[in-house]
Amino acid sequence: MKYGIALFPPKNIQDFANSYRKRYDSHYALIPPHVTLKSPFDADDQEVKTIVKELRKIAAETDLIPLKITKFSSFYPVNNVIYLKIEPNETLERLHKQLYSGIFTDKPEYVFVPHITIGRDLSNAEYADVYGQLKMQTVHFEETVDRFHLLYQLENGSWTVYETFRVGKEQE
């Protein structure tokens, strides 16, 4: 099965992201607004058991995750993805690194740029138009997130949550 690891931002940020995703993101119906922590990977039932144990261990050592968003950005010219940029922080960086080391032998395809995609698969003209407007907008969210999720993909491309991992040592 195909698995992925992601975190969901708080509801206010998800609602904000969806107001754009509805029009611009072809994955709108497949998964809620999210920050990908580890790209989709294949694992069988036995491997997933090991992965879940490892994720519990990693989560137990992870602090609450700051999520500061101050602007829209884009991966152009690599692709036409438009996203809400998450300010890099040590907690996210370390978490990402841990998800690509130890038992995780695959390597990240790109440098880690934490983000919430709000547009993709746009034509060049549409991309230029939409991004031209969004990059002028001011955005400000400052939140913390206390959990991330392991998800698996269904045949129709949508994602179902398999398990939640809570972070932040002060949690009860």
Query: Which residues are tagged catalytic?
Result: 34, 115
Burial class of residue 140 (count of CB atoms within 10 Å of its CB; 0-12, 13-18, 19+) = exposed
Sign of CA dihedral 154, 156, 157, 158: negative
- CA–centroid distance for 80 within its chain: 17
Question: Residue 121 and residue 60: Cα distance in Å, rounded?
Answer: 37
Question: Residue 9 and residue 169: Cα distance in Å, rounded?
Answer: 19
Our CB check for a copy of itself shows the closer of 127 and 159 to be: 159
Helix (H, G, I), strand (E, B) or coil at 21: helix
- State the nearest-atom distance from the C-beta of 154 to a copy of itself, in Å: 5
Our CB check for a copy of itself shows the closer of 82 and 151 to be: 151
Our CB check for a copy of itself shows the closer of 124 and 160 to be: 160
- State the nearest-atom distance from the C-beta of 8 to a copy of itself, in Å: 5
Our CB check for a copy of itself shows the closer of 101 and 164 to be: 164
- State the nearest-atom distance from the C-beta of 73 to a copy of itself, in Å: 23
What length does the chain have?
A: 172
Question: Residue 148 and residue 118: Cα distance in Å, rounded?
Answer: 20
- State the nearest-atom distance from the C-beta of 161 to a copy of itself, in Å: 4
Binding site for a copy of itself (CB under 8 A): 1, 8, 11, 14-15, 18, 22, 28-29, 32, 53, 147, 149, 152, 154-156, 158-164, 166, 172
